[in-house]
Amino acid sequence: MEIVQLIEPDRVSLGLEVADKSELLSVMAGKASYYSGIAADTILQALTKRESFGSTGVGRGIVIPHTAIKGLKSPLGFFVGLARPIDFESVDGEPVDLVFLLLTPPSSVNENVAALAAISRRLRDAEILKVLRTSKTAQEAFRWLTGV
The reply to whether 66 belongs to the active site is yes
Q: Which of 11, 31, 66, 122 is catalytic?
A: 66
Around 72, how many Cα atoms within 13 Å sit in the side-chain half-sphere? 27
Kindly report the backbone phi and psi dihedral angles of residue 84, in degrees, each rounded to the nearest multiple of 5, phi listed first.
-140, 140
Please give the C-alpha separations between residue 93 and each of 8, 19, 70, 78, 87, in angstroms, as whole numbers. Answer: 30, 17, 32, 23, 8
Tell the burial category of 52 from Cβ atoms under 10 Å away from its Cβ (0-12, 13-18, 19+).
Answer: exposed
Give catalytic residue positions: 66
